[in-house]
């Protein structure tokens, strides 16, 4: 696995783990609910890896609403929230790899 893919998988784990850990020990996936806001940058590589990660996460945790803030100007768009001390649940400042096979690696961690 190349460095970019490893970095993306680690970032994905760090992004989605807090929500999963929030559930009490032994809780079923269906019992986990709430809203997860994700802010991520979309550049020349697109956002296919993020879309796949979110889809996989929502299949496992259907009671969690995932709100995406994404795009090439996402940092400027979200600036007022950061200034008002109301950031999203999770952010990524790393561009996901365009060609990914993360699902074989990271989906088992979601």
What local confidence, expressed as pLDDT, does residue 100 receive? 52
Residue 46: the pLDDT is 76
User: What's the pLDDT score for residue 25?
Assistant: 45
Query: Helices in the chain by DSSP H: which ranges?
Result: 3-22, 48-60, 74-83, 102-106
pLDDT for the residue numbered 23: 46
pLDDT tens-place string over residues 37-57: 999 888 877 788 888 889 999
Q: State which residues of the chain have pLDDT below 70.
A: 1-30, 93-110
Closest CA to 53 of 31, 71, 68: 68
């Amino acid at each position: 696995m190349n460095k970019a893919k490893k970095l993306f998988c680690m970032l994905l784990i760090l992004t989605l783990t807090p929500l999963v850990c929030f559930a009490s020990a032994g809780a079923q996936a269906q019992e986990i609910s709430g809203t997860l806001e994700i802010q991520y940058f979309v550049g020349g590589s697109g956002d296919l890896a993020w879309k796949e990660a979110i889809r996989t996460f929502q299949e496992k945790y259907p009671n969690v609403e995932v709100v995406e803030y994404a795009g090439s100007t996402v940092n400027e768009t979200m600036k007022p929230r950061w200034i008002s001390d109301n950031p999203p649940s999770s952010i990524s400042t790393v561009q996901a790899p365009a060609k990914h096979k993360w699902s074989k690696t990271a989906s088992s961690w979601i």
